[in-house]
Structures are given as structure tokens and as C-alpha cells.
Amino acid sequence: MASFTRYLRSLKWTPLPLGVGFAVIAATQYRHTRKREMIPEIDIELPLWCRSTVLGSYVRTFGCDMTEAEVEDILQYNSLSSLFRRSLKPSSRPVNAASALTSPVDGTILQAGRGVTYSLGSFLGPNIWSGVSPDDGATADDSCYHNSCITDPDANELHQVVLYLAPGDYHRFHSPADWKVIHRRHFPGELLSVNPSFAAWIPNLFVLNERVAYIGTWKYGFFSMTAVGATNVGSVKTYFDEDLRTNERCRPSCTFSDKTFEGPGHNFTFSKGAPFGEFNLGSTIVLLFEAPKNSVMSVLPGQKIKMGEALLAPETFTDKTAGSDKDCVHNKGVER
């Protein structure tokens, strides 16, 4: 806080007329409201006579490959939203069997490797899933937070992969590994653009935007997948979490809501490649996970990738730590 105060004092401030200030506030609030209003608009059913023009223009502009879709005829999609969330032919996205971690989406790799470039405590909030008290400083000190996520610090490190979904990409996301979800945390927030050219200017962009974090375990320990909202895209749906409500105007952005998956009917174990959820239009997925220190990423920043392709080099992963979580994974996706 002290460093931030010093930074503010170092800035050169230019006084503005009071009317200009009110105008900026009004414009910002209007844009914020319009972003959240756009989701119902893209759900509006299009008359059959205009679908070829509207949807065809979108497909051409963003390079959507409709030959991969289960329904190739764009006239069968009654809205822009249904086109964004189109399902694909199963054969179009084979899942790499040799790698322990595969891409959950079609998109572009923004970041991949050890460590993170933002505050873990701010991004995920208090670590209550590993038995760490929110008052022990874990959210204030990132090194403490990092250590609280690692179950085997001698053998493992925390890694991350950030994937950006462009408007033309397949907009459903899948399980990137065999893992078990134990907790969900939803942060209402902004809907700032996550386009790489814009995100480069805002280091903590992912901390500001609306996001839904699913936290759990896999064969190497801690594992999380976070769906981050983007411009006009606060809407996130997951197929197993019926209580999740996103893109709500009345929710203050400085809060979060939790849900713990435990007890009868809440055993959510996913297999690699299983359907998990979907976005509207475009967004970002952030994977944070514990893995061996000798893990080697098989992707580089800027690389295009498709769902099911390897994120980690297969040869770096042996089954030395395979345990009960792996044994109870079901090929069909989620076990209730």
C-alpha cells in the first residue's frame, strides 16, 4: 500500500472541469451496463431470412471452420449465441493420451511455464481449500500463498498456462486433466478486453475481470481452472454447477461467493477431455497447477492450439504419484 501511495504522489495531476469528471463517470457506467446487456442481445432469435447474412458475415470475418461443427449449416443456428456455443464432431478434437495435461480449449497460448505474473492471492482469494486460514497472511504475501498451494515442495512447483479464445474459436471448454473439483469461487468484476494486445498493458487484468475458479486436485497435487470473462462476455456456464450465476449487474465487484463440492451428489471427478462448460463470444482460461519440477511445457506463448492437444511434454510425466484420484476417473466425464 505504501508503494502504491508513493506512486500516486509521483504522478503529475492535471485538474479537469467538474463537468468533464461527471461525463467520464457517466460514460464509464454506461459502457459497463451495456456490456452486461449485450448477452441477452446475442441470444435474440434471428429470423430465418437474415441468418445467412448475419451469421455468414460472422463466420467469414472470424474464420470459423464450420466443417468441424456437428451442425455445419449456419441456417440451423437461431442466434449468434448458439453459433458461438456450437458443438463439434467428436472426431475433430482427439485428446492426446500420452500427455497428463491437454488444452481445455481452442485458442492461443498467452503464458506457459513456472510461476505467475499476477497476485495469486488476489486472483484466487483466501486459500480455504487446503486448510490454510484466511487470516494467516497467505493472501497478503504471494510467497506464502504459493507455498500453501504446493503439497510436495521438494518435488513440485506451481505452473501456469493462460489460453485466449478469439471470437472465431470453438467456445466450449473441457477438462484439461484427470482431476477432482472440490471448490468453486465466483468473483464478479469488470468485463475488460482480454485481447493479448490490450492485456499486455494491464498486468493484473485477470484479477480485475469477472471470473469463476474451480479448485481441486490431480495426481500431482493442487489443480485449478479459472474461466475469465471478457468484453461483453461475463457469461460463463458449467454443465455440472447449476447454482452458478454470472453476468449479474447487482453484484458488487469487490466480493466473491464460494461453493464446496462435498457430500452425497457432489463427487465431481473429470476425465481428460470431458465437457466442462462454455463461454459466449470469447474469453480466457487460466490453469494453475502443481507439477514436478522437471516438467517441460510443449507449447510456447503465441502458439495456436486446439482442444485436446498436449500442454506438457509426455516424457516428463511418470506414474510415480498416481493415486486414488486417477483410479476413480470416469471416461464419460463427471461422476455425481
Q: What is the DSSP string of 177-205?
A: SSEEEEEEEEE--B-----HHHHTT-TTH
Q: In this structure, what C-alpha cell is assigned to residue 155?
A: 518435488
Q: Position 269: which residue type?
A: T
**Cα 59 to Cα 56: distance, rounded to the nearest angstrom:** 5
Query: Which residue from 53, 52, 39 is spatially nearest to 84, judged by alpha carbons?
Result: 39
- Which residue carries 497460448 as its cell? 109
Q: What is the DSSP string of 214-236?
A: EEEEETTEEEEEEEE-BTTB--E
Active-site amino acid positions? 106, 174, 283
* Terminal C-alpha separation, the chain: 44
